[in-house]
């Protein structure tokens, strides 16, 4: 057995258009968008009557992909919370050229800093933002 790569990370959102716009503002590029349903979806998810709309985005280098999913049936379930110490998906992190410019670009799309931009050993500037569907998006700028 050999793993070839990590293909993508999937995030369930309630507003697909907003989530796409948010991640495009971050610099991801939309590969495609489509409705999915049918026996293969039901079999894969272990659910019946699934109908969802997905969008696939990739980073500019083409190596990392993000799948955004909006469930039409059954409707998505609200999580009990997404704090940094919540079990499960912790956050998704992106390396950026200019952390302050990136934050400014994402604010009009609803991004909110959880804390502040922190300096890690004069090597990285780091921050956590609240993004679409309450997910935590981390940013890292290499400064040394």
pTM score, whole prediction: 0.86
The domain segmentation of the chain, as residue ranges, is: 9-73, 92-142
- Pairing type for strands 124-130 and 112-113 reads antiparallel
Percent of the chain's residues with pLDDT above 90: 69
Is residue 85 over pLDDT 70? no
What is the average pLDDT across 76-91? 66
Q: Is the pLDDT of residue 40 over 90?
A: no
pLDDT per position as a tens digit, 47-67: 899 999 999 999 999 999 999
- CATH class for the region spanning 9-73: alpha beta
Q: What is the CATH number of domain 92-142?
A: 3.10.180.10
Segment 123-133 mean pLDDT:
92
Tokens of 108: 């009009």
**One fold for 9-73 and 92-142:** yes
Confidence of residue 5 (pLDDT cuts 50, 70, 90): confident
Output the 3-class SS for 2-67.
CCCCCCCEEEECCCHHHHHHHHHHHCCEEEEEEEEECHHHHHHHCCCCCEEEEEEEECCCCCCEEE
């Amino acid at each position: 057995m050999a793993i070839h790569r990590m293909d993508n990370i999937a995030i369930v959102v309630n507003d697909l258009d907003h989530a796409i716009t948010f991640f495009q503002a971050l610099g991801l590029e939309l590969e495609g968008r489509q409705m999915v349903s049918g026996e293969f979806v039901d079999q894969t998810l272990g659910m019946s009557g699934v109908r969802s709309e997905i969008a696939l985005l990739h980073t500019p280098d083409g190596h990392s992909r993000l799948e955004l999913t909006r469930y039409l049936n059954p409707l998505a379930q609200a999580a009990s919370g997404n704090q940094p110490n919540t079990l499960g998906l912790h956050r998704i992190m992106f390396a950026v050229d200019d952390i302050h410019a990136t934050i400014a670009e994402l604010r009009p799309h609803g991004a909110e800093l959880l804390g502040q931009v922190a300096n890690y050993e004069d090597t990285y500037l780091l921050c956590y933002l609240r993004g679409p569907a309450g997910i935590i998006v981390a940013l890292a700028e290499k400064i040394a």
